[in-house]
Amino acid sequence: MISCKFKKFVIIQFLIILSISFVKTNAQDIDYIKLSSFEFPSEITFAGKRIPIEREDVQERMRIIIWKLTRDPTILMIWKARNAKFFPLAREIYKEYGVPLDLLYHFDIESSWSPYSYSSAKAKGVAQFIKSTGNRFLKIDSMMDERRDIEESIIASAKYFLELMEDIKDVYCDLAEVEEDNALKVEFVKIGTSSRREFNAWELVLAAYNSRQTISVINEQKITDFWDGFWSTAEAMEHYPKVLGVKLIMDDPARYGLNFLINSDLFDNYEYDKLETTIYKQFTFLDLAKICRTTFYEIKTLNMGYLIDYFPTGQVTIKMPVGKKVLVKNYLQDNDFFTPNKLALHRSQLMDAGFDIVESDNYNRATLSYRVKPGNTVTRIVWRLLSIGFKVSVKEVISWNNLNSKGTIYPGQKLIIYIPNE
């Protein structure tokens, strides 16, 4: 008879051999990413400024960044393909604002050009603005968040770069006033009083875009070059080198062992027609898609800034496939979208009387809200609307707001009122 202990021993040995065999088999199937040896170009510039690549510390930091970036060729392929799509539009915008084109590579690091990108710090969109920063350059409300709009985000990032540049120049002006070292004083004065075109510490501007710690580093360590600063967080230390690394790889993929991406792999240019106008009826994305003979998906993608699926009344920017602008404009004209309705004609009178326009849900009715003031009665509120030209009844106001039969209201109470809008 074979003992139980011997049986257990045999089973355990069998399982060990089977496990080793499985590991070896799978190890042979793994396609390990091979990090290539490479030499940096003898001269590297970013935004027109020479990078001191001959410095051992700079070369070490950049080599680590390149290795980290190249270990996942998939994301680099996505970046290169999306750069081909969005760079033509972005270049025109950055040229207009006088921002160096090398800074465009920060979109790869920030969001991979995805309008859906969202960070743990609640930064959103391709430019990764938090709400407080975004509000300074973009429209953000219940119906629209322009952080998700590609074009508006590019424009906002250019404006923010220029604002940061002025902030950094102000820091150097302040440093120049208190600096005792004559050489540094001269350097700080030179930077602080330079024009936009002459100022060249764009790497510090880029670092400040990612982290306001940059201003503190300049102040405390009195640096004029990013590479001379000591950065307390990995994110602050690596953001600009990552952007530089992406530029180097995209400029010469083969040098870093990445022989990929032919022209057929690149995405088509991001192109569309744009109509900026005022409409007096809601215009749905689905109707726009039907007019343009395209999909709802394409219309929604072009108009990502809208959190709703229609263009609300008022000033709007309508984006559509190339070649459809005249067709859309004629449709809006023929269907009275450009004809002011009753609400539009009396908007200022309503607002002066204390009524807020909540929405115009269709061409026939609009929703108002009214905050009750001391001395108000439902009858007086109704008579005020009648004097402006909108016919509503006391019974209707009582019904809409679930008031008692006497229509009792109190100061501070919010009433909802529906008015005809023909």
246 and 288 belong to one structural domain: no
pLDDT of residue 240: 94
Burial class (CB in 10 A: 0-12, 13-18, 19+), 207: buried
Are the C-beta atoms of residues 282 and 361 closer than 8 Å to each other? yes
Band (pLDDT 50/70/90 cuts) for residue 264 is: low
Asked if 261 and 86 count as a contact pair (C-beta separation under 8 A), the reply is no
Query: Among 305, 334, 363, which residue terminates a domain?
Result: 334
Write the pLDDT tens digit of every residue in 334-353. Answer: 988 887 777 777 778 888 88
Please indicate, yes or no, whether residues 143 and 163 belong to a single structural domain of this protein: yes
Considering the domain architecture, whether residues 227 and 122 belong to the same structural domain is answered as yes
Distance CA 260, CA 57 (A): 30
Please say whether the beta carbons of 203 and 170 come within 8 A. Answer: no
Q: Is residue 220 part of a domain?
A: yes
CA distance 334 to 74: 49
Task: Please state, in angstroms and as integers, the Cα–Cα distance from residue 126 to each residue in 150, 177, 259, following that order.
Answer: 7, 39, 27
Residue 298 sits in the same domain as residue 355 = no
Co-location of 82 and 174 in the same domain: yes
Q: How far is CA 113 from the centre of its chain?
A: 9
Does a structural domain hold residue 314? Answer: yes
Pair 49, 137 in one domain: yes
Task: Give yes or no: residues 315 and 181 share one domain.
Answer: no
330 and 346: one domain? no
Contact between 237 and 231 under an 8 Å Cβ cutoff? The reply is yes
pLDDT at 364 over 50: yes
* Distance separating alpha carbons of residues 402 and 301, to the nearest angstrom: 41
- Assess whether 399 and 373 both reside in one domain: yes
CATH code for the domain of 73: 1.10.530
Q: Which domain holds residue 357?
A: 342-420
Q: Are 211 and 252 in a shared domain?
A: yes
Amino acid at residue number 150: I
Which of 334, 356, 378 is a domain's end point? Answer: 334
Residue 401 lies in a domain: yes
Helix, strand, coil content of the chain in percent (nearest 5)? 55, 10, 35
Between the alpha carbon of residue 113 and those of residues 117, 227, 251, the distances in Å are 8, 27, 18
Q: Is residue 26 part of a domain?
A: no
Asked whether the predicted pLDDT for residue 31 surpasses 50, the reply is no
CATH number of domain containing 365: 3.10.350.10
Contacts of 160 (CB under 8 A, 6+ apart): 127, 129, 133, 137, 209
**One domain for residues 234 and 252:** yes
User: Which has more confidence, 12 or 405?
Assistant: 405
Yes or no: say if 82 and 112 are a contact pair by the CB < 8 Å rule.
yes
Which of 418, 406, 302, 307 is CA-nearest to residue 355?
A: 418
pLDDT-derived band at 416 (thresholds 50, 70, 90) equals very high
Q: Which helix (H) or strand (E) holds 384?
A: helix 378-388
Answer whether residue 131 is part of any domain. yes
Q: What CATH number corresponds to the domain at position 303?
A: 3.10.350
Confidence band for 28, pLDDT divided at 50, 70 and 90: very low
Strand partners, 277: 316
Residue 194 domain flag: yes
Radius of gyration of the chain (CA): 31
Which DSSP helix (H) or strand (E) runs through 238? helix 234-251
CB burial of residue 400 (10 Å; 0-12, 13-18, 19+): middle
In the chain, the number of structural domains is 3
Q: Answer yes or no: is 84 within a domain.
A: yes
**Residues 103 and 180 occupy one common structural domain:** yes
Q: Which of 227, 256, 285 is the last residue of a domain?
A: 256
Task: Please write the tens of the pLDDT for every residue from 97-107.
Answer: 999 999 999 99
Q: Is the pLDDT of residue 8 over 70?
A: no
Residue 11 domain flag: no
CA–CA distance, 369 with 387 (Å, rounded to integer):
17
Asked whether the predicted pLDDT for residue 80 surpasses 70, the reply is yes
